[in-house]
């Protein structure tokens, strides 16, 4: 089974600053990777699929990059509504596992 890891576990960022989150797969998942945002008490929301394609309605400040085993989610200028937990998920095989998440909180 592919194992997904994310770093850092917690990222403290000031509003307006850039946030860079990392996701790593234990083996290549090509570009078959999605990112989700989850706020407290809410269901996850799809942000990015195909490693770099924004889902419908997702602001341009969110961008994804990477392929193979190394991926990055960048939030170019953090807004108050972006403080949340972010998960990556691979869908390259029939066990679409999630990473452990990165919490982005206010510095």
Partner 1 sequence: QITLKESGPTLVKPTQTLTLTCTFSGFSLSTSGVGVGWIRQPPGKALEWLALIYWDDDKRYSPSLKSRLTITKDTSKNQVVLTMTNMDPVDTATYYCAHILLYYDILTGYSPGYFDYWGQGTVVTVSS
Residue written as tokens 């510095």? Answer: 107
60 contacts partner 1 (rule: CB under 8 A): no
Burial of 31 (0-12, 13-18, 19+ CB in 10 A): middle
- Residue with Cβ nearer partner 1 (20 or 92): 92
Q: How far apart are CA 65 and CA 48, in angstroms?
A: 10
Supply the DSSP symbol for 81. G
Stretch that binds partner 1, among 10-18, 64-72, 73-81, 94-102 (CB under 8 A): 94-102
Residue written as tokens 């170019």? Answer: 76
Binding partner 1 by CB under 8 A: which of 46, 58, 63, 69? Answer: 46
Binding partner 1 by CB under 8 A: which of 11, 25, 44, 78? Answer: 44
Chain residues in the site for partner 1 (CB under 8 A): 1, 30, 32, 34, 36, 38, 43-46, 49, 55, 87, 89, 91-101
């Amino acid at each position: 089974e592919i194992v997904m890891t994310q770093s850092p576990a917690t990222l403290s960022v000031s509003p307006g600053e850039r946030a860079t989150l990392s996701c790593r797969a234990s083996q290549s998942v090509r570009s078959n990777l999605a990112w989700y945002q989850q706020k407290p008490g809410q269901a996850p929301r799809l942000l990015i699929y195909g490693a770099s394609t924004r889902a419908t309605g997702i602001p341009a400040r969110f961008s994804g990059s990477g392929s193979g085993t190394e991926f990055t989610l960048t939030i170019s200028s953090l807004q108050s509504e972006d403080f949340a937990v972010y998960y990556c998920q691979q869908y390259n095989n029939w066990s679409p596992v999630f990473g452990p998440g990165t919490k982005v909180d206010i510095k």
